[in-house]
Amino acid sequence: MKKRGHEKHYYLMLLPGMVWLVMFSIVPMFGILMAFQNYNPGAGLLKSEWVGLDNFKYMFQLNDSRTVIVNTFIIAVGKIVFNLLVPLIFAILLNELRSMRYKKLVQTVVYLPHFLSWVIMSTIVIGIFGYYGVVNTVIGMFGYDPKLFMADAGIFRQLVIGTDVWKEFGFNAIIYLAALTGINPNLYEAAAIDGANRWQLIRQVTLPALTTTVVLLGVLSLGNVLNAGFDQVYNLYNPLVYSTGDILDTWVYRLGLQNLQFSLATAAGLFKSAVSFVLIFISYRLAYHYADYTVF
Amino acid sequence: MVRNITLGSRTFEIANIILLGLLLIGCLYPLWYTFCVSISDKSAANAGLVTLYPIGFSLSPYKEIMGDPLFFNAFWISIQRTFLGTSVSLLITVLMAFPLSKPNREFKMRNTFMWILVFCMLFNGGLIPWYLTVQNYHLIDSIWALVLAGGVPVFDVILIMNFFRNLPKELNEAAVVDGAGPWSVLFRVYIPCSIPVLAAVTLFLGVYHWNEFFNGLVLMNTSAKYPLQTYIQQLVVNIPVGTNLTPEQYKKLSELSNRTLNSAKVFIAMVPMLIVYPFLQTYFVSGIMLGAVKE
């Protein structure tokens, strides 16, 4: 079949997308050079003074950088673990429901928070946990004094992980539920005839069917260990909880766009991008090796 | 399905129904609470008296919003942005997905382009270089910054590409035999056959553009240009950054915020999402599964 002439059309079709890609993804990559310069906006990228790795050295000497990396890591890993386990348990429980209408109702409702932005969700969270929020109203009924939950560095990480799980658990369960529909009902019947009780059915039939999915999702989320979720943290935090709640992304934002320390912020951003890139690369290779999974 | 009906099994079932019911309430209550605060009497809401139902009744926050041109302005910008962003991205995404769905022997550069695309998905220059680039293009305060600065939605390209690859090869061959060029094959054969994935991607893009606030915050210098999410974000998070804030000051600041009005604004901002939610649910679920399809 004659297809030679088609190639130029293929280039033409790729053109708008490639222009877009070059303009907003590839051109900014050259800006990474700023991390190795003492960038001066007046002089520009070509004439700014080169300083080698000084920005990185300075960054890692700052106390802030250590706090921020630790916070990012703890929040991100907490999210990864609970966003794997809570949806798993939820999916198994949902699968045990007999009433299909109730199942449908639960699914419809728990997917909803996923579609609302963190701007809206954090406003709601602050409304609930705020000084005049309903949590304080309720603990007031039991005779306790109201607390400033949103300003308490001791519970901020738990709050961030908890509200993230609350927002996403339903949606994250979709992939498990799909895996569950793939289980052959004969397996349950055979096990039941052999005298398996409910708990044994879950352990011996349901769980093994989900292991591959859990492992695969776990491996693929490896690239997220420095992704603590900018939108959420930015909308929930305040200076009182910086010690436990400030993350790499919010730090880069404040350094760069509020304090205008362009070079330092670029270096911190590059640190995050580079580590994440390596981790994603490893996770894709692992996923390919063990689960035969390819993304593209 | 055979299930042993024993006492333990029965207890488990009831406990399960109750537990899932609690989760259901846990997801709905925050939204209901926000609604209750928004229509409650202002002093009752500010004193934190609202729990399960509105205390008093007042529509004054909603009246105030109806009279606030900035709110409607932001709402309109968000609608424009969502419309433009979704249609531009969808068109470009589909155009990219088609050649990339071709095997290497039909399109020699296919793998090269694919690697570039995936590299750009996994690695980026970071916030500051990206911001300065957009600034250099003189896109600050322009709606096109909101439409384009998020970059190529590479994941959606891959999604559509995988769907195209799974279409029967005969479709393409029959059309080519009948004399169709690549453009007609794409627009007359492939696109009509790919409605499920295109619906899913359209909704992914639409939800992204409607919910995105950060680009609005950093790329728009004047608050009159803010999209809705940024506008809402600004009125809620008004804590001065970088100051030595004490807990007492923080408490004072939260006393100053107008809870009923803020809740009403958040609730109105949620309404469009609640209206399209039934469609979203159907196509998103199928979209997630499409993403899992391998070549």
- Amino acid A189 reads E
Q: Which residues of A206-221 are buried (b: 16+ CB within 10 A; e: fewer)?
A: beeebeebbebbebbb
- Best residue of A7, A19, A24 to probe chain B, by most B CBs closer than 10 Å: A24
B103 and chain A in contact, CB less than 8 A: no
Residue B34, pLDDT > 80, answer: yes
DSSP A144: P
**Structure letter (DSSP) for residue B186:** I
Asked if residue A226 belongs to a domain, the reply is yes
- pTM attached to this predicted model: 0.90
pLDDT in tens, A80-95: 999 999 999 999 999 9
Contact: A29, B129; criterion CB under 8 Å? yes
- Mapped onto helix, strand or coil, the DSSP state of residue B213 is coil
Whether the CB-CB separation of A230 and A71 falls below 8 Å is answered with no
Pick B128's closest partner by Cβ from A118, A265, A280. Answer: A265
At A273, the pLDDT band (50, 70, 90 cuts) reads very high
Inside any domain, residue A27:
no
| Chain B residues closer than 8 Å to A131 by CB | 48, 251, 254-255
The answer to whether B77 and B225 have CB atoms below 8 angstroms apart is: yes
The domain that contains A161 carries what CATH number?
1.10.3720.10
- Of A20, A24, A115, A117, the residue nearest B89 (C-alpha): A20
How far apart (Å, rounded) are the C-alpha atoms in residues A114 and B147?
22
Cα dihedral B233, B235, B240, B245, rounded to 10, equals: -100
Higher pLDDT among residues A26 and A43, named by residue: A26
What is the chain A residue with the closest CA to B48?
A132
Residue A240 makes CB contacts below 8 A (sequence gap 6+) with A151, A152, A153, B245, B247, B250
Residue A104: inside a domain, yes or no? yes
Kindly determine whether residue B1 and residue A175, on different chains, have CB atoms separated by under 8 Å.
Answer: no
Q: What's the rounded mean pLDDT across residues A45-66?
A: 90
Give the minimum alpha-carbon distance from A2 to chain B in angstroms, rounded to a whole number.
Answer: 9
Residues in chain A with CB shorter than 8 Å from the CB of B182 are 6, 9-10, 13
- Cα Dmax for chain A: 83
Q: Are A29 and B128 in contact (CB under 8 A)?
A: no
Biggest alpha carbon–alpha carbon distance for chain B: 77
B127, B166, B215, best to mutate vs chain A, most A CBs in 10 Å: B127
Whether chain A has a CB inside 8 Å of the CB on B102: the answer is yes
What pLDDT is stored for residue B294 in this prediction?
44
CB contact under 8 A, B151 and A1: no
Pairwise CB contact (< 8 Å): B125 & A294: no
Structural domain boundaries enclosing A168: 38-291
Name which residue leads in pLDDT, B254 or A62.
Answer: A62
Interface of B with A in 107-146 (CB under 8 A): 107-109, 113-114, 116-118, 120, 122-134, 137
pLDDT tens sequence across B243-285: 567 777 777 777 667 888 889 999 999 998 899 888 888 887 7
- Does pLDDT of B1 surpass 50? no
Question: What is the rounded distance in angstroms from the CA atom of residue A96 to the CA atom of residue B63?
Answer: 47
User: Which of B24, B126, B255 is nearest residue A106 as measured by Cβ atoms?
Assistant: B24
CATH of B64-291, one of 3.30.360.10, 3.30.420.40, 1.10.3720.10, 1.10.10.10: 1.10.3720.10
For residue A28, tell me if it sits in a domain: no
| Closest chain A C-alpha to B236 CA, distance in angstroms | 7
Distance (Å, rounded) from C-alpha A241 to C-alpha A154?
8
Closest CB to A17 among B95, B242, B289? B95
Is A247 a domain residue? Answer: yes
C-alpha to C-alpha distance for B148 and B85, rounded to whole angstroms? 7
Number of domains in chain A: 1
Closest Cβ opposite residue A9 in set B8, B45, B181: B181
pLDDT, residue B10, reads 85
Cβ-based burial of A52 (10 A; exposed 0-12, middle 13-18, buried ≥19): exposed
| Closest Cα in chain B to A118 | B211
Predicted local distance difference test score (pLDDT) of residue B5: 64
- Chain B residues near residue A113 by CB distance under 8 angstroms: 27
Which of B:190-219 have CB within 8 Å of A? 207, 210-214, 218
Residue A259 lies in a domain: yes
Helix (H), strand (E), coil (C) string for A13-74: HHHHHHHHHHHHHHHHHHHHHHHHEECCCCCHHHHCEECCCHHHHHHHHCHHHHHHHHHHHH
Quick one: DSSP state of residue A146?
P
Shortest Cα distance from B118 to chain A (angstroms)? 8
DSSP-derived letter for residue A151 is: G
State ipTM: 0.89
For chain B, what are the domain ranges?
7-58, 64-291
A30 and A45 Cβ atoms separated by less than 8 Å? yes
pLDDT value at residue B17 = 94
User: How many cross-chain Cβ pairs, A to B, lie less than 8 Å apart?
Assistant: 316
Give the closest-approach CA distance of A171 to chain B in angstroms. 9
Report the C-alpha gap between B71 and B224 in whole angstroms: 9
A128 close to A138: Cβ distance less than 8 angstroms:
no
Band (A23; pLDDT cuts 50, 70, 90): very high
Residue with tokens 């590479």: B154
Give the closest residue to B38 by CA, choosing from B259, B273, B271.
Answer: B259
Instruction: Tell me the pLDDT tens digit for each residue of A95-144.
Output: 989 899 999 999 999 999 999 999 999 999 988 998 888 899 899 889 88
Residue B143 tokens, joined: 């709606």
Does residue B295 surpass a pLDDT of 50? no
**Using CA atoms, how far apart are residues A90 and A96, in angstroms rounded to an integer?**
10
Q: Is the pLDDT score of B286 beyond 80?
A: no
Cβ pair A189:B2 closer than 8 A: yes
Do the chains contact at A238 and B245, CB–CB below 8 Å?
A: yes
CA distances from residue A55 to A36, A66, A73, A246, A270 in whole angstroms, order as listed: 7, 15, 22, 20, 11
Query: Could you report the per-residue pLDDT of A205-261, keeping only the tens digit for each?
Result: 899 889 888 988 888 898 899 999 999 999 999 888 999 999 999 999 999 998 899
